Structure 1
Amino acid sequence: MAALLVVGIGLPPLGAVLRPYVTEAVFLLLVVSFARVDLVALRGHLRRPGLVLAAIGWTTIAVPLLYGVGLALMGAPPGLALGLMLHGIASPMMAAPALAALMGLDATLVLISLVGGTMLVPLTAPLFAWIFLGDALPLSPLAMGLKLAAMLLGSLALALAVRRWPGVPALERHREAVNGFNILVLLVFVSAVMGDVAGQTLADPLGVAWMALLALAIFLVLFGATALLFRRAGRQAALSLALMASQRNMGLMLAATDGALPGAAWLYFAMCQFPIYLAPLLLRRLVRAGIRRDAPGSSAPAGSGSAKPPAPP
């Protein structure tokens, strides 16, 4: 997966060609992700509604509020402020359950919290955008909400059709082919986002380095704050939700705004890709230590009920 970042940075012309198709790529990634949801695992975690509702409230309401208040206090430049706020109001990315499973965390808890939060985004994202961005948003909050709802409901409807025909067993049998298709579609998104990074690095290396450090710092703060907030649920659950909350679905925000964002927002989104794809390496030791120290009667075994690896926007 990290090789996609290298391709995106190393082939800027490819990014220029593929950028107009970001919305279509995000839609297809959503379809595949919804089609591969493990419904049995999803129903199983409905027995823990308190924890799930708390996770949904944190990632869809509390996190955007913290972003908005933080931006108001720090006085970021308009372009960067737009990118940061869109990052904050986004739902967690659809590949979070797969990454959680890869790291030995509770993928089913991540899955049900993710699905619940994602379904609320057409309501919460426009509201927070209107409160904290106002006229800086390149489209009206109503238009944003309608587009998000259309993308999510449309991709969900198509995913349900795919689950009927060719059906879930066929998706399982052809898992490698589906994964390959996901990678190709993800290449469209990554190339579009990373296409200008090489040129911007040559033109302003310090500015790009600062943006990369900012993206990494926000990732780590979100991860740490979420882990601390949910620590009483057990280390495995806390780390699972921390991973989910720290990885936001920026592709959905790009699609909702048709990519009509200033250069600073695009650069910030690009820099956010690094902690997303390097998370398994950055957090491996911490996660392993947390799982080893967790109580023997943990509510969910490591990686239980994991979603099949969807490639994220």
Structure 2
Amino acid sequence: MPSTLPTTLAYPLRVLSWLGSQGTRGVAAVVFIAAAVPSLGALLRPYLTEAILCLLCISFMRVDLAALYSHLRRPALVATATAWTTIGVPLIVGLIAHATGLTAGAPGLSLALMLQSMASPMMASPALAALMGLDATLVLITLVTSTALVPFTASLFAGLFLGDMLSVTPLTLGLKLLGILAASLLAATAIRWIFGAEAIQRHKTPIDGLNIIILFVFAAAIMGDVVSDLVAQPLFTLGLAALSFAIYFTLLAITTLLFRRIGTGRALALGLMVSQRNLGLMLAATAGALPPTTWLYFAMTQFPIHLAPYMLMPIARRLAARKEH
């Protein structure tokens, strides 16, 4: 049996390595395949929480501890970026939603926007920044600090702005977020201890491929009803899609401008992180008990999340070329 094991694993590893080598193209393709095969949505939706936990676990498992420690020596920048993404963004979104009457007029959309703003950055943000040649270590440390705070900040803003719009209390939301993050961190720590950081780094490409497969499971689960919604209410669905792109690139642009003094490349990396919100974490914490409009908006956000890194590659390349010269 031991002699046949490498042969048995060789083909799956080759497939995973090929997927991992596709980079931002693979991430972009995921969203179109998920939308094109809606029947997979119903099949994979029961596994949404497991997919989110796996994505979190893989991200924690790949944390570069040396880079983490080095950035902790410059706490001012990390603290400012963390405050912006965990406090500044949800506070501004909440105030705008209330001032414009969106909370009363379109509660499902208001809930979606608040949950999006309250969420921590996506765990895949450092990997996407690295694929684009941006400063992944700065993104990593800010991601870690933001994720550590989000159970508390999300609970605070849920109490301030959401009232009874959520199916769970703000305290329950915070505790669930804390439990999900703690479970993922413990599993990742166990994997690092069993296999070692060197082995994880050595198998970086197939792990990237596995990440893309799990991203597909998540995208398919959340986007299962997109085609039927598009047919039933095309203008509303396209409007939510346009809104999701507008919010994504607004967050990206504002963050890049706010932090431009640290260099355009590093500011863009932070902008990418702030605009890539971990909606899966909120879905897991609320057990998916959300209004149809909230679900549909979450589905629409998958398009900018998956397409933007590919769209931004030319800008990232120009910044890298400028840095070399």
Provide TM-score, normalisation by structure 1: 0.90
2:162 is aligned with 1:133: yes
Structural mapping, 1:86-235, within 5 Å:
86-235=115-264
Larger RCO, structure (CA 8 Å, separation 6 or more) = 1
Structure 1 residue 28: Cα displacement: 1.2
Deviations 1:78-101 (A, max 9, x none): 111111100000011011111111
Confirm or deny: 8 A CA contact 1:234 1:295 kept in the other structure: no
Q: Residue type matched to 1:131 in 2?
A: L
User: Which is higher, the Rg of structure 1 or of structure 2?
Assistant: 2
Q: Residue type matched to 1:11 in 2?
A: V
Confirm or deny: 8 A CA contact 1:92 1:247 kept in the other structure: yes
Confirm or deny: 8 A CA contact 2:45 2:221 kept in the other structure: yes
Residue 25 of structure 1 aligns to a residue whose secondary structure is: helix
Identity %: 55
2:74 is aligned with 1:48: yes
Structure 1 residue 284: Cα displacement: 2.8
Q: Would the alpha carbon gap of residues 202 and 92 (structure 1) be closer, same or farther in structure 2, given more than 3 Å must change? A: same
Deviations 1:158-200 (A, max 9, x none): 1111110022222233334433332332222111111111111
Residue 135 of structure 1 aligns to a residue whose secondary structure is: coil
Q: Would the alpha carbon gap of residues 177 and 290 (structure 1) be closer, same or farther in structure 2, given more than 3 Å must change? A: closer
Distance (whole Å) between structure 1 residues aligned to residue 213 and residue 309 of structure 2: 21
Q: Residue type matched to 2:131 in 1?
A: L
Q: Residue type matched to 1:153 in 2?
A: A
Structure 1 residue 290: Cα displacement: 4.3
Distance (whole Å) between structure 1 residues aligned to residue 261 and residue 176 of structure 2: 37
Query: Which structure 2 residue ranges, 5 or more long, are not aligned?
Result: 1-26
Confirm or deny: 8 A CA contact 2:28 2:310 kept in the other structure: no
Residue 253 of structure 2 aligns to a residue whose secondary structure is: helix
1:85 counterpart residue number:
114
Equivalent of 1:26 in 37, 52, 75? 52
Distance (whole Å) between structure 1 residues aligned to residue 322 and residue 80 of structure 2: 23
Q: Residue type matched to 2:267 in 1?
A: A
1:308 counterpart residue number:
none
Structure 1 residue 281: Cα displacement: 3.0
Distance (whole Å) between structure 1 residues aligned to residue 208 and residue 251 of structure 2: 29
Q: Residue type matched to 1:224 in 2?
A: A
Distance (whole Å) between structure 1 residues aligned to residue 250 and residue 206 of structure 2: 36
Q: Would the alpha carbon gap of residues 176 and 102 (structure 1) be closer, same or farther in structure 2, given more than 3 Å must change? A: closer
2:96 is aligned with 1:66: no
Confirm or deny: 8 A CA contact 1:122 1:148 kept in the other structure: yes
Q: Residue type matched to 2:100 in 1?
A: M
Distance (whole Å) between structure 2 residues aligned to residue 281 and residue 80 of structure 1: 27
Q: Residue type matched to 1:119 in 2?
A: A
Q: How many residues align?
A: 296
Residue 196 of structure 2 aligns to a residue whose secondary structure is: helix
Confirm or deny: 8 A CA contact 1:92 1:248 kept in the other structure: yes
Distance (whole Å) between structure 1 residues aligned to residue 281 and residue 59 of structure 2: 13
CA RMSD of aligned residues (A): 1.6
2:268 counterpart residue number:
239
2:46 is aligned with 1:17: no
Q: Residue type matched to 1:56 in 2?
A: T
Distance (whole Å) between structure 2 residues aligned to residue 295 and residue 173 of structure 1: 27
Query: Which structure 1 residue ranges, 5 or more long, are not aligned?
Result: 297-313
Distance (whole Å) between structure 2 residues aligned to residue 197 and residue 80 of structure 1: 16
Q: Residue type matched to 1:236 in 2?
A: G
Q: Would the alpha carbon gap of residues 294 and 177 (structure 1) be closer, same or farther in structure 2, given more than 3 Å must change? A: closer
Q: Residue type matched to 2:34 in 1?
A: G
Confirm or deny: 8 A CA contact 1:235 1:294 kept in the other structure: no
2:13 counterpart residue number:
none
1:37 counterpart residue number:
63
Q: Would the alpha carbon gap of residues 73 and 292 (structure 1) be closer, same or farther in structure 2, given more than 3 Å must change? A: farther
Deviations 1:135-176 (A, max 9, x none): 001111111111100011111111111110022222233334
Distance (whole Å) between structure 2 residues aligned to residue 57 and residue 295 of structure 1: 31
